[in-house]
Structure 1
Amino acid sequence: MSITASIWLVIVAGFVAANIPFLNQRFFAIGPKGRVGGKALWIRLVELLVLYMLTGALALLLEGKAGQRSSQGWEFYAITATLFLTFAFPGFVYQYLTRKSRSAD
């Protein structure tokens, strides 16, 4: 797999993983359903953190296959976490802003 394909795979995987907690009521999209009113926000945030780590593990795996891994400082992780939260914005808007306003009509 080329470097460009690996980069796009990580970006798409990050976007999908960031929206999974907000687009369904199941734990990690495969577990049992949450309570009747939906999952609590803190559960969604825990899922978001775990999926961020899994996406990072995928990126490390692909980087290792492409060549030598680079060591990263805290700045790298702060920026990638912020990017992951930015990717989660469409799912958050759907779950907490758009969907609720449509049901109120």
Structure 2
Amino acid sequence: MDVRFKRDGMTLIVSIEGEIDHHTSRLLKEKMDSKFIMEPVKNMIIDLSGVTFMDSAGIGLIKGRMDRVSSVGGKISIRNPKPEIIKMLKMSNIYNLIS
């Protein structure tokens, strides 16, 4: 799993590559939360184009970041998820909550 961060105005863009599962989600959460706090940003875009697999830990990761971003009045969005990731997001009812 690899993660890259880029700031665009008040938005933190998070690009993830590899698998998001119970083995990687904790470290990913720590990195994302740390960067979100360190950067004076309000919104977050999570680019999933490089994600090859995601399980329920990935859903929990996204839900937790949604809660964190909304707590400061921001918005979160997902970019470029693969069809199987979209299906999982829809099954968990998160897909409709993400702008």
**Highest CA radius of gyration, 1 or 2?**
1
How high is the TM-score relative to the length of structure 1? 0.31
More helix by share: 1
How high is the TM-score relative to the length of structure 2? 0.32
Structure with the greater relative contact order (CA < 8 A, sep ≥ 6): 1 or 2? Answer: 1
